[in-house]
């Protein structure tokens, strides 16, 4: 079909609707998406097909969750002794004062005997599936930039998110739902979600995450009143005709190409999305498992259940951000509340993935933007931000569970063994998907960009 300017309304109608707007808009775009958005692009055999990233915004305390430090109980209220400071230069320079013991006990769990805080009894039951990395580190102690570092690799937030890189590398498993979905829960008004965390940066816009509300679903997805499916197809066909005519005059234009795809995806969502967010078909047992009918787990439980439903339906990358972990004051009250919100739903997600045969092919990641200091902040019984040594965990997707990687010093302030940077961590996520970070390139302004811009190697021990 020629994209010449139609001389009359009749010419336009015969050029577009005459051949069927559905053919013009929908089928053409389906064919177009056989490129980078198609499945297949691994550099080697993957251990996972999809990712669920559980991002704990605000900074969970490592010494109160997965990295017990008995020395803190002995030294509570004191400054760091010279015997420890002398062996770790960063501690000596920091001049840490007023050490604070963890308010919670740790117990060993599972056959691996990995210690987990009593704050997380449900997660502790899955400890033999977890690979706990205790040696994450970077140098940005501020929430917004720290979140950008954790999810994009730089504090400026001007690069693609790890989710966008994953979709760029592998594409989508489904044509009816976005390949990359983000849900943001429990924002406390202090640490606002950083859009860079699901953004595409300099990658084409179609690789950015789609933000959805677990309660409302995808906004404005309902068919407008008075529209039939056929009429909607005709409308999209007309929009597509104009967009393609404009594109033919401009040449290659990623933004307009992404807009064309977005209209097509919007049409698919109007039929597929309502079913995704309708949970009435889930059994009472499943709803109870996730804590959907009780407070405080209702919202996080729904988010975790939707994450399972999304990967089950072909969504490649799901990011669930749960905010509220910033415990400058009253860490006891804060972390008991946040673990009460998250522990049961996250454990339910791991169990449910197993029950449905999805666990071995789905990488589940739990991480925040940094950890917290082993000292008390002022007299508030809280802890300050600390990116020098903190804990994360991975499970499923080929992960060798029941192991600990890395180590912090005796008071849990700084990494002293097997340091892992956010770039290493991102390379590890990509490795699970069969992607080598140094070979996943995109030419931007004449430079072949890679996900790990400052270098980074996959932590292959994670996979055994």
pLDDT for residue 334 is more than 50: yes
**Which tokens is 351 given?**
């169990």
The pLDDT tens digits for 19-28 are 333 333 333 3
Residue 11: pLDDT over 50: no
Secondary structure (3-state) at 47 = coil
The per-residue pLDDT for range 247-258, each reduced to its tens digit, is: 888 888 777 777
Considering only 29-33, 110-114, 177-181, which range has the smallest mean pLDDT?
29-33
Task: Give the model confidence (pLDDT) of 427-439 as tens digits.
Answer: 999 999 999 999 9
Amino acid 186: pLDDT: 81
- The whole-model pTM stands at 0.87
Q: How confident is the model at residue 192 (pLDDT cuts 50, 70, 90)?
A: confident
CB 184, CB 193: distance < 8 Å: yes
- Please answer whether residues 57 and 338 qualify as being in contact, where contact means their C-beta atoms are separated by less than 8 angstroms: no
Average pLDDT, the chain: 89
pLDDT at 44 over 80: yes
Q: At 189, is the pLDDT very low, low, confident or very high (cuts 50, 70, 90)?
A: low
Whether omega before 276 lies within 30 degrees of 0, making that bond cis, reads: no
CA dist., res. 279 & res. 305, Å (int) = 9
Average pLDDT for 213-236: 78
At 365-382, the pLDDT tens digits run 999 999 999 999 988 999
**Exposure string over 256-292, b if 16+ CB within 10 A, otherwise e:** ebbbbbebbbebbbbebbeebbeeeebeeebbebbbb
* pLDDT tens column, 158-170: 999 999 999 999 9
Helix (H) or strand (E) holding 407: strand 407-408
Range with the poorest average pLDDT among 21-35, 48-62, 105-119, 167-181: 21-35
pLDDT (mean) for 74-86 = 95
pLDDT computed for residue 187 by the predictor: 66
pLDDT at residue 188 in the model: 64
**Cβ 80 vs Cβ 345: under 8 Å:** no
pLDDT confidence of residue 20: 38
DSSP track, 439-452: T--EEETTEEE-S-
Task: Compute CA distances 249 → 32, 194, 238, whole Å.
Answer: 19, 36, 17
């Amino acid at each position: 079909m020629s994209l010449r300017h139609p001389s009359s309304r009749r010419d336009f109608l015969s050029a577009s609707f005459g051949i069927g707007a559905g053919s013009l808009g929908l089928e053409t775009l389906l064919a177009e998406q056989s490129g980078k958005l198609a499945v297949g692009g691994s550099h080697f055999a993957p251990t996972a097909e999809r990712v669920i990233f559980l991002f704990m915004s605000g900074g969970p305390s490592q010494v109160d969750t997965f990295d017990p430090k008995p020395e803190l109980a002995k030294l509570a209220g004191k400054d760091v002794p010279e015997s420890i400071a002398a062996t770790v230069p960063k501690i000596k320079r920091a001049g840490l004062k007023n050490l604070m013991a963890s308010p919670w006990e740790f117990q060993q769990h599972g056959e691996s005997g990995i210690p987990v805080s009593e704050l997380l009894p449900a997660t502790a039951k899955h400890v033999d599936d977890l690979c706990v990395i205790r040696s994450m580190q970077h140098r940005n102690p501020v929430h917004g930039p720290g979140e950008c570092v954790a999810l994009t690799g730089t504090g400026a937030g001007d690069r693609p998110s790890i989710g966008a890189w994953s979709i760029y590398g592998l594409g989508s498993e489904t044509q009816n739902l976005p390949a990359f979905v983000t849900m943001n829960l429990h924002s406390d008004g202090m640490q606002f979600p950083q859009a860079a965390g699901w953004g595409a940066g300099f990658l084409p816009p179609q690789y950015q995450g789609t933000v959805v509300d677990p309660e409302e679903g995808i906004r404005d997805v309902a068919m407008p009143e008075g529209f039939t499916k056929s009429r909607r197809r005709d409308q999209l066909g007309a929009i597509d005709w104009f967009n393609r005519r404009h594109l033919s005059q401009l040449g290659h234009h990623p933004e307009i190409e992404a807009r064309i795809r977005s209209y097509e995806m919007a049409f698919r969502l109007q039929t597929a999305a309502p079913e995704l967010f309708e949970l009435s078909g889930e059994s009472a047992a499943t709803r109870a498992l996730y804590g959907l009918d009780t407070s405080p787990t209702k919202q996080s439980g729904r988010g975790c259940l939707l994450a399972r439903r999304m990967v089950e339906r072909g969504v490649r990358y799901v990011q669930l951000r749960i905010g509220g972990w910033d415990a400058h004051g009253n860490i006891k009250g804060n972390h008991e509340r946040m673990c009460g919100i998250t522990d049961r739903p996250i454990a339910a997600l791991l169990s449910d993935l197993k029950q449905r045969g999805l666990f071995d092919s789905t990488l589940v990641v739990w991480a925040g933007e940094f950890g917290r200091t082993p000292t008390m902040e002022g007299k508030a019984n809280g802890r300050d931000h600390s990116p020098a040594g903190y804990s994360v965990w991975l499970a499923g997707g080929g992960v060798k569970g029941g192991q600990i990687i890395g180590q912090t010093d005796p008071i849990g302030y700084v990494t002293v063994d097997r340091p892992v940077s956010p770039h290493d961590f991102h390379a590890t996520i990509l490795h699970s998907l069969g992607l080598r970070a140094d070979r996943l390139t995109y030419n931007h302004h004449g430079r072949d960009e890679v996900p790990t811009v400052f270098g980074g190697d996959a932590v292959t021990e994670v996979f055994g």
